[in-house]
């Protein structure tokens, strides 16, 4: 979820429109071919090969910003976050074009958030926001504002988080981005025990379906809405929203929200004092999380299973 605004496909537009300045000893057509090759390899998800090509670029021009962007982006996709951060920082120190720099700041802000270095993420996202404002790029401005909101949310600074999320909405140009932020705003309100406002924002996401909003956002909003109704003790609406969300996960290839749907169903059954039904859904949730690499979430559910097995209802 946290990579929605961190997608790096657009980085490679830079490879075509903003080539590096290379020294006289570097033959331009050969160098441009390497940049194009790196772009194609990355787009084909051949990250190891892209890394080799990026290193060829750097061997020809050790000041290459684009070569470092290609290298760091590929390392990131392979899960080598620390190495990616190091290379992006090198690129930051060399970048002269705003188009390069805004890409680098975006990725650093996202990577530090993914690695839970919240202070560094806040620093880079603020730089990213400033540059987005200076260049009049509303897409980037929305991304930066939303990500700063996410940092504050993780720091439990919920009022500050809401301020930045709501500012981000004003700059969103597509429904998917707006839905992502609406879901986040609703999550914050739920943490603040303002269930009615949470329900209002989850419902706002559902109203965007007719505009072609992707099913992933709809599923997330439906399941979260069901959980909000559960907290409000409106169990009929909770059951309806969760059931619809679960139905939509079928064939949607969205294991995270499939697992969360079972978890929310279990919480609903626990509220209704149906312990055995709840334990069955918790086990399914744990198995799905575990099978798809969501090990932290699987461990959380495992703790819930142990707790509820021994608790009397």
pLDDT score of 1: 40
In the chain, which ranges are continuous DSSP H helix? Answer: 13-17, 28-43, 47-60, 65-77, 81-94, 98-114, 118-135, 138-154, 158-169, 175-191, 195-206, 215-231, 235-249, 255-271, 275-291, 295-310
pLDDT score of 23: 46
pLDDT score of 268: 98
In a domain, 183, yes or no: no
Residue pair 88/68 in contact by the 8 Å Cβ criterion: yes
In a domain, 106, yes or no: no
In a domain, 19, yes or no: no
In a domain, 235, yes or no: no
pLDDT score of 213: 81
Number of domains in the chain: 1
pLDDT score of 20: 57
What range defines the domain where residue 311 resides? 265-313
Q: How many residues does the chain have?
A: 313
pLDDT tens digits, the chain, 313 residues: what are they? 434 444 444 444 444 444 554 444 444 788 888 988 998 899 899 999 999 999 999 999 999 999 999 999 999 999 999 999 999 999 999 999 999 999 999 999 999 999 999 999 999 999 999 999 999 999 999 999 999 999 999 999 999 999 999 999 999 888 888 999 999 999 999 999 999 999 999 999 999 987 778 889 999 999 999 999 999 999 999 999 999 999 999 888 999 999 999 999 999 999 999 999 999 999 999 999 999 999 999 999 999 999 999 887 6
In a domain, 295, yes or no: yes
In a domain, 290, yes or no: yes
pLDDT score of 226: 98
In a domain, 270, yes or no: yes
Of 147, 159, 165, 232, the C-alpha closest to 201 is: 165
In a domain, 66, yes or no: no
């Amino acid at each position: 979820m946290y990579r929605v605004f961190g997608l790096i496909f657009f980085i490679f537009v830079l490879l075509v429109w903003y080539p590096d300045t290379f020294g006289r000893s570097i033959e331009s057509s050969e160098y441009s071919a390497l940049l194009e090759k790196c772009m194609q390899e990355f787009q084909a998800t051949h990250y190891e090969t892209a890394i080799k090509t990026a290193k060829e670029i750097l061997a020809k021009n050790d000041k290459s910003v684009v070569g470092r962007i290609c290298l760091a982006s590929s390392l990131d996709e392979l899960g080598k976050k620390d190495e990616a951060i190091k290379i992006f920082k090198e690129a930051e120190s060399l970048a002269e074009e705003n188009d390069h720099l805004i890409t680098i700041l975006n990725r650093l802000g996202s990577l530090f958030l993914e690695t839970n270095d919240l202070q560094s993420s806040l620093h880079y996202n603020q730089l990213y926001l400033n540059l987005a404002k200076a260049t009049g790029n509303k897409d980037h401005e929305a991304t930066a504002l939303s990500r700063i909101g996410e940092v504050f949310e993780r720091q439990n600074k919920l009022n500050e988080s809401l301020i930045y999320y709501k500012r981000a909405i004003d700059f969103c140009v597509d429904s998917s981005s707006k839905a992502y932020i609406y879901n986040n705003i609703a999550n914050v309100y739920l943490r603040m025990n303002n269930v009615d406002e949470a329900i209002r924002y989850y419902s706002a996401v559902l109203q965007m379906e007719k505009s072609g909003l992707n099913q992933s956002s709809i599923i997330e909003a439906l399941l979260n809405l069901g959980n909000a109704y559960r907290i409000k003790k409106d169990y009929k609406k909770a059951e309806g929203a969760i059931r619809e969300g679960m139905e939509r996960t079928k064939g949607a290839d969205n294991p995270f929200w499939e697992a969360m749907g079972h978890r929310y169903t279990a919480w609903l059954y626990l509220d209704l004092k149906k312990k055995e039904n709840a334990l069955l859904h918790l086990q399914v949730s744990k198995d799905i999380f575990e099978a798809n690499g969501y090990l932290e979430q699987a461990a959380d559910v495992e703790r819930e299973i142990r707790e509820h097995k021994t608790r009397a209802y």
